[in-house]
């Protein structure tokens, strides 16, 4: 097991390196001169040169890359061009709201998605299945931002049950996490259903039924446990989707999180923030995928030695 984890970690190195190079090249690919951007529109050519030296943009590329890697390892991404604060503290302020939003969306999406999937599989081709799958296909077809706007209009504006924007209390989390999690719940439902249907056709299920076990324990004990393996993988993949989706939902609900920081950074061409965020998001995504792979290897040892 440990060997497998180490092998997987080593396997990450080429991917991480490519990602680091891409993110590093990113500022050099951005249109316009980064020093000019940092100095501001009214700066004289002398000031721009000074800023260039200050940012180290006049050094050879190899040295810049080395500095970038060292800085990244130390968590130093420079200063935001917009607020002049260190990028790391900008990100630290915004991290938790996005983190909790993602986690809550995932939690309820998994619970509802799996429940719908199991119900649909057990009552296959009957009305609960049709209802569940109609909900699911609608869920993947409704864009998160549109769903967010509709939910806000109904529950916050018309009914006045929940707050509209901000992230001050647990009530603020309800609508955004529904908007963000709906698509994931839908995908989980479809996926659980098909994985459950495959399992219900297996021999050991027939054996369990044949020896007279009540249907409830066949489903809860024999089928559910075995159907979980692919569902866990799917869950990990969807985390990346949530990270991306949070960018859109945060705009709708004016959420003080990383997504909005990213949008502002793109608008303002605040490249140090942009660079750090792209790196952070992709790192999170890679780590989650690793955890899923390890979990998968732990649940199903046969794939470990491939």
Partner 1 sequence: MPEALSSVVTMTAMTREVRSPWSEFWRKFKKQHIAMAALAFVVLLTLIAILAPYLAPFDPENFFDYDRLNEGSSLVHWLGVDSLGRDILSRIIWGARISLTAGFVSVAIGLVVGTALGLLAGYYEGWWDRIIMRLCDALFAFPGILLAIGIIAILGSGMANVVVAVAVFSIPTFARLVRGNTLMLKHLTYIEAARSIGASDWTIVMRHIFPGTISSVVVYFSMRIGTSIITAASLSFLGMGAQPPTPEWGAMLDAARSDMLVAPHVAIFPALAIFVTVLAFNLLGDGLRDALDPKIERG
Binding-site ranges for partner 1 (CB under 8 A): 14-15, 18-19, 22, 26, 29-31, 137-138, 140-146, 149-150, 152-153, 157, 187, 190-191, 193-194, 234, 240-241, 243-245, 247-248, 251-252, 262-263, 266-267, 269, 274, 278, 281-282, 285-286
| Residues 138, 141, 143: CA angle, nearest 5 degrees | 120
Whole-number Å distance between alpha carbons of 79 and 100: 26
The least CB distance from residue 266 to partner 1, in Å, is 5
The least CB distance from residue 195 to partner 1, in Å, is 9
Q: Tell which residue, 294, 291, 279, 299, has the closest CA to residue 69.
A: 279
When the beta carbons of 56 and 244 are compared against partner 1, the nearer one is 244
The least CB distance from residue 292 to partner 1, in Å, is 13
The least CB distance from residue 225 to partner 1, in Å, is 20
Which residues have C-beta within 8 Å of that of residue 121, sequence separation ≥ 6? Answer: 129, 192, 193, 194, 196, 197, 200
Whole-number Å distance between alpha carbons of 44 and 288: 46
When the beta carbons of 190 and 208 are compared against partner 1, the nearer one is 190
Q: Residue for token digits 């021999």?
A: 203
When the beta carbons of 213 and 291 are compared against partner 1, the nearer one is 291
Whole-number Å distance between alpha carbons of 306 and 304: 6
Helix %, strand %, coil % for the chain, to 5? 80, 0, 20
The least CB distance from residue 283 to partner 1, in Å, is 8
The least CB distance from residue 208 to partner 1, in Å, is 25
H helices of 30-169, in order, are 34-39, 45-55, 61-73, 87-122, 127-141, 144-151
* Packing angle, helices 61-73 and 2-29, rounded to 10: 130
Kindly calculate the radius of gyration of the chain based on its CA atoms and give it in whole angstroms: 24
The least CB distance from residue 240 to partner 1, in Å, is 4
Residues in the chain: 306
When the beta carbons of 29 and 73 are compared against partner 1, the nearer one is 29
When the beta carbons of 39 and 188 are compared against partner 1, the nearer one is 188
When the beta carbons of 44 and 141 are compared against partner 1, the nearer one is 141
Token pair belonging to 14: 């080429």
When the beta carbons of 10 and 210 are compared against partner 1, the nearer one is 10
């Amino acid at each position: 097991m440990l060997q497998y984890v180490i092998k997987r970690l080593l396997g990450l190195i080429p991917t991480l390196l490519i990602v680091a190079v891409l993110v590093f090249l990113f500022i050099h690919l951005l249109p316009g001169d980064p020093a000019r951007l940092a100095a501001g529109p009214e700066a004289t050519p002398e000031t721009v040169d000074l800023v260039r030296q200050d940012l180290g943009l006049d050094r050879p590329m190899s040295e810049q890359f080395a500095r970038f890697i060292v800085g990244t390892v130390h968590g130093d991404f420079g200063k935001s061009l917009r607020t002049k604060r260190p990028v790391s503290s900008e990100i630290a302020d915004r991290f938790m709201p996005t983190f909790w939003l993602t986690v809550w969306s995932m939690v309820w999406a998994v619970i509802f998605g799996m429940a719908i999937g199991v119900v649909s599989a057990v009552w296959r081709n009957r009305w609960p299945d049709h209802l569940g799958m109609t909900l699911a296909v609608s869920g993947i077809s409704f864009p998160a931002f549109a769903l967010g706007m509709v939910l806000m209009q109904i529950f916050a504006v018309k009914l006045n049950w929940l707050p509209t924007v901000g992230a001050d209390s647990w009530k603020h989390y309800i609508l955004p996490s529904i908007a963000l999690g709906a698509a994931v719940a839908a995908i989980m439902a479809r996926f659980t259903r098909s994985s459950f249907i495959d399992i219900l056709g297996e021999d050991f299920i027939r054996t369990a039924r044949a020896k007279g076990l009540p249907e409830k324990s066949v489903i809860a004990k024999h089928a559910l446990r075995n159907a979980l393996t692919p569902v866990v993988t799917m869950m990990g993949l969807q985390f990346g989707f949530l990270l991306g989706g949070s960018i859109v939902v945060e705009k709708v609900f004016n959420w003080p999180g990383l997504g909005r920081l990213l949008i502002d950074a793109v608008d303002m061409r605040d490249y140090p923030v942009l660079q750090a965020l792209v790196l952070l998001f992709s790192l999170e995504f890679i780590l989650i995928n690793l955890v899923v792979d390890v979990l998968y290897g732990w649940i199903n040892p046969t794939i470990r030695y491939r």
